[in-house]
Amino acid sequence: MDFNVGDVLIILALIIVVIAIGAKGYKVSSSITGYFLAGRGLGSWVLAFSIMATYFSAASFLAGGTTYLYNLGFGAWLTAWHIIGVVLMWTLVAERLFRYSSKTNIISVPDFIEHRYQSKGAKIISASVILLLFTLYLTSVYKGGAVILATVLNTKFEVALVMLALPVIVYVCIGGLKAAALNNLLLGALMLIAAFITFFAIMSAVGGPIHGLETLEEMNVLGRIPGQMWLRLDGMGPQPAMVAGMVPSLIMSITFSISLAQVALPTLLMQFYAAKNVNVINRGRIIGSIAVAAYAILVFSLGAFCHIILDPQLSSTEITALMKDTDWVIPKALTMLIPSGLRGLVMAAPVAASMSTLAVTLLVLSGAIVRDIIQPIKPNLEEKRLLLLAKISPIFFAAISLGLTLYQTDIIVEVVGAAFGTIFVCFLGPVTIGLYWKGATKYGAMASMISGLIVGLLWYKFLYRATWIYPVIPALAVALPIFFVVSKFTSKPSKEVLDLLEAR
């Protein structure tokens, strides 16, 4: 793809700027609370954009090309579920979790689980789930951002990986969540600007959404697939799923799983602890919901329209290749539609998305190992030493994930594919439902996390491609009933703890 010096300079400038902004968090990060929770001083705009940017990795921008293969029902349902998910997160979870953290001074999600269920065992299980799944999930984040960097900068993939990881490691180690959140405000804004430019460029090229749909309906993709297949929920999708008649089920299970994950992801929920006050949550609810909804509406359905732009200029072999690897649909279309310079700004968006997700995920991993594993084992360890470990551990986790990204085995690839949704399954009952239901117990929480982890990973490995039902659905079908049933027959925490669940 054709990128010039201007495009390269824009992305290099982004890398320099995020390091400079990261230094702003240095003073705040001189204590454990300051490092992990930005001194509990985040405002509405910073919090809302930080959560939005953390949630959307590079895959979210490149996912706009997914409907080059899937029908438009995928984009429509992905958008709808994202809007439902973000509204539920900010409405049902944000304020309750903030108030609970304010009363108890908890720092991490495993902290919440320990305090809510009065169980160190539940805390260790939750921290272990985080350490396993988020370390593996980072490999997909690395890959998405590094592929873009390698292409734009015309460098090796390995070099791009280091260029992506190094600035994030620097500003996370220096400034903690404060640095990550300030950068996420910038990176989230960049993602939205790029989404607007991309939507406008593609819609202008096809004559607007209505004309684009009419043109697509009249097309024959690869000379044999009617364009109207992209306008039906039971239409286009992966060939095996089409043969099995499972395209609608596949679309609904994937889009539900990805989008509703917002209500239970530790990387998002932890940031609510860092709000300055409850008014920040109330304002952030509006800002955050609008930001996620706008991004989803602008990006998630563009791939299908790219058939109109790309197919007349590509061979059937190239079209088939793009339908197999849809990550390159949007970048390829943009190289044809927008001038250099502006192209560099737009392609900086997936790099920005990767950086924002990497930063907060590394912080969550650091908290899991230092706060939730090391500190309980060494309770007398002084805060200065804990803080030093907290600032060093992101380097450790970044290095592990880099290694896994470079040397992926088949089993790692399988686990990475299931990691994101499985995290959601593991924490939905113990955290999100546990905020409301006083009947939840430590044994219910532990059983739910363990069963969700096992079913999610095994289903993805052995049954996903046989059933074309995304693993989150069967994992939820097992983990949630176990959560309720086991809780029903085991002893509840003390009244003092349960009283903390009151909304005010």
Domains and CATH numbers, the chain: 5-236+269-408 (1.20.1730.10)
Rounded CA separation 219/228 (Å): 8
Could you tell me the two tokens for 271?
């940031």
Rounded CA separation 359/181 (Å): 9
**Does pLDDT of 30 surpass 90?**
no
> Residue for token digits 């650091």?
366
Q: Which residue has the higher pLDDT, 344 or 488?
A: 488
Q: What is the pLDDT of residues 193-202, one digit of tens each?
A: 999 999 999 9
How does 257-296 read in b/e, with b if 16+ C-beta sit within 10 Å? bbbbbbbbbbbbbbbbbbbbeeebbebbbebbbebbbbbb
Q: Which of 21-25, 187-191, 228-232, 238-242 shows the lowest per-residue confidence on average (mean pLDDT)?
A: 21-25
Q: What is the pLDDT of residues 45-57, one digit of tens each?
A: 999 999 999 998 7
pTM of the entire predicted model: 0.91
Quick one: DSSP state of residue 128? H
- Whether residue 47 contacts residue 180, with contact meaning beta carbons closer than 8 Å, is answered with no
Q: What is the pLDDT of residues 108-154, one digit of tens each?
A: 999 999 999 999 999 999 999 999 999 888 888 888 788 888 877 77
**Does pLDDT of 205 surpass 70?**
yes
- Whether residue 36 contacts residue 367, with contact meaning beta carbons closer than 8 Å, is answered with yes
